[in-house]
Amino acid sequence: MSQSLVIVESPAKARTISNYLKDDFVIKASVGHVKDLPENRLGVDIQNGFTPEYQVIKGKIKVLREIKRAAEGAKSIFLATDPDREGEAIAWHIAEEINQPPTKIHRVLFNEITARSIREAVAKPEKLNRDKYEAQQARRILDRLVGYLISPLLWDKVRRGLSAGRVQSVAVRLLCDREKEIQAFVAQEYWTIEAMLESNLPPPFKATLARVDSQKAEIKNQEEAQVILQDLANLPFSVKEIERKERRKYPPPPYITSQLQQEAWRKLHFSAKKTMSLAQALYEGVDLGQEGRVGLITYMRTDSVRISPEALQEVRQFIEKKFGPSHLPDKPNFYKSRKMAQEAHEAIRPTSTKYEPEAVKSFLSKDQFALYELIWNRFVASQMNPAVYDQTVVEIQAGKYLFRATGSLLLFSGFMTLYIEALDENVEGEDQERKLPELQVGDVLKLLELTPEQHFTQPPPRYTEATLIKELEERGIGRPSTYAAILDNIQEREYVAKEKGRMYPTELGCLVTDLLVENFPEILDVQFTAQMEDELDKVEEGRLPWVQALEDFYEPFQEDLEKAKVQMQDVKGKGVPTDLRCEKCGAPMVIKLGQHGQFLACSNYPECKNTKDFQRNDSGEITVVQEKATQEVCEKCGAPMVIRTGRFGKFLACSNYPRCKNTKKMLVNGEGQLEAAQDEKTLESCEKCGAPMVIKTGRFGKFLACSNYPKCKNSKKISSSEKEGVKRTKPVHTGENCPQCGAPLVYRKGRFGPFIACSNYPKCRFTQKITPTTKKADKKEVVEEKPSAPKRKAVREMTPQKND
């Protein structure tokens, strides 16, 4: 009897599913997408209805061959790829490639990899979803059009290798706009006044000045604060009003993708990329010993907070047993998803309450456990009773001044027994307990101390990964499956950098963003990008043809593209003008983009080749970085050496540049100070001029160079063994002398392994095979000299063709 074939994306997912589908099924993995648009050209026929030209991805030919072979003899074929757009696209492309009758091919959807879920999905398969596939295809083509048509413009106008992205460029713009807000921000001074008061009963408590003459207290400077302090010094303080009320804090819903990424950043300091990688492993399955591989969480790419009835029943039973009836609400807690959420999906939750975090901890890595515990606690807490606080607000009168004190007492912890939501920085929590004494209206209070405090308004903070994801989500930019990729791409392409967990745009990121905003206002418009996401959602729901969505986008985009080819500023040739003047010729200085980043250059180039490093101050103004002189003297021309910064950090350069181009590496000495690094000398001599060869470091690693540079520019590669630490300065001698010149013989290693050579190379080029007797007698020395040689053959008899 023939077997059925189940196809998934991941080998890990395949191993987990194989535990639940036994002898009647064969499980194969596609290892992700099998087809995509070509890498080296647009691959979209715009004139013929945006027809995509899909190709089998390099490296997937063998995978597809195995899948096709298995499909030919299969009774039925179940495409069990992920339940999102990307998974649907993989399923369609596999169906096209295996070329089997439609009646034989079935789509299988499941939200969790458990025995019950898998068996139910296979028992009730569905058809391939064309609308979902076309929504993915439309997104892929949109991204290709933007990336492949704008990027060449950036290569031509700015620098080769740059790229633009439909969503990621908007994310960079958000960061650039925030940076401009920070630079334009002007801090305003203000003061607060706190009174430390005491009643007949302990404890003493603090109250803050809230109103003056029934108006909100606004103290602008120290002089105003001193006037108020003098007034208050002799005034009586008494309780004017007391308000007591019960406040309930309700549990948050279970995680969706964006909230999981935000919380993992706040609590665990995981990047979005790391969070999704860990969640993927928990979803696809973890080996739990005797129980085998088990999927521990539901599908991790979702924007729905829906929970299945079975999961609700199970978690309610668990709460009542674990925490008692007091923590279990009378009815399940239901949460509302955002407007465009895919309600077919569930929220991110544990697949079963029997897999408590501590019970599976020994089977998980440290980071896997931390994320799983976060998901577990949030889900269970979402179905618990709210926390209850007794909150008291006391208003205290002192003449025309009104002070306010707030007390909060936790009466019932509820869901907070298990889970407390983290807050973004600069967001004050309301749940800290603050105790007040028993007070009555009319009580006279004793003033213990008045404390004035100076403050300054703060600029908006830079985004963290958590707050940027939150901003993207609130503005409708991107979707759950794209956030991690967006954040990863903008950092990899050096448009964005991080400092103490905060993201900020680089000079390159701001430059490219300004050019794109000027020339492609719609593409970089936040509202337009969110509207395009809505259009793709309509395609998935079958309410909009995918070709129409592309046509609506492409017509205005093409007009902007043609204008930009003519009007976009030529940064590569002319640079970006500044207000600075060249101190050598008086011409304006411009910002140019080089291999190692942006720099200031004279606009009178090539007549004047003056260049300067620059930086921006807190207000965004350009300031020239002054070269720091050192006590080092250039050994080639005698001019002082200065410290400069390049792609690989700080280095010493001759101040007589460009007449003298001498440079040196810098090292940190034992006192933490920078000093010139000395070239590492070797026993070799340059075969062109006879000067000693030294070891230098370039962009591709260490190499041998003539110490007589730049008069002699001879250089050589260093063999792999030397890169691992075997230096030419300490060759291992054989104990014999060269028969041709009498110099000592040493062990060397060439492309085919170790051999014996004259130490007087290159004047003497004598070499000798390592014979079996030599190998036996000198094995110890050979292994010490070449520790990286294979153990199974430390040396090998050979005839070297080149002395390396």
Taking only Cα atoms into account, the Rg of the chain, rounded to an integer number of angstroms, comes to 35
Query: In 3-state terms, what secondary structure has residue 719?
Result: coil
CA distance 719 to 700: 13
Joined tokens for residue 745: 């013989």
Compute how many other C-beta atoms are within 10 angstroms of the C-beta atom of residue 251: 23
CA angle, residues 579, 585, 587, in degrees to nearest 5:
30
Q: Which of 258, 301, 268, 303 is nearest to 282 (CA)?
A: 301
Task: Considering the candidates 299, 355, 389, 495, report the single residue annotated as catalytic.
Answer: 299
Compute how many other C-beta atoms are within 10 angstroms of the C-beta atom of residue 625: 13
Write phi, then psi, for 629 (nearest 5 degrees): -75, 150
- CB under 8 Å to 26, separation ≥6 — which residues? 3, 4, 5, 6, 70, 74
Compute how many other C-beta atoms are within 10 angstroms of the C-beta atom of residue 54: 19
Query: In 3-state terms, what secondary structure has residue 485?
Result: helix
Tell me if 651 sits within 8 A of 662, measured CB to CB: no
**Does residue 710 have a cis bond before it (omega within 30 degrees)?**
yes
Q: Which of 674, 682, 730, 678 is nearest to 704 (CA)?
A: 682
- Known catalytic membership, residue 148: no
Joined tokens for residue 630: 């050192």
Which amino acid would we find at residue 309? P
CA distance 637 to 710: 12
Q: Which residues pair with 685 in a beta bridge?
A: 692
CA distance 194 to 406: 13
Q: Which of 623, 599, 595 is nearest to 612 (CA)?
A: 599
- CB under 8 Å to 475, separation ≥6 — which residues? 526, 530
CA distance 66 to 5: 12
* The dihedral formed by the CA atoms of 490, 492, 498 and 501, expressed in degrees to the nearest 10: 90
Sign (positive or negative) of CA dihedral 616, 619, 621, 627: negative
Q: Number of helices and strands (H, E) in the chain? A: 20, 38
Query: In 3-state terms, what secondary structure has residue 562?
Result: helix
Residues with active-site annotation = 299
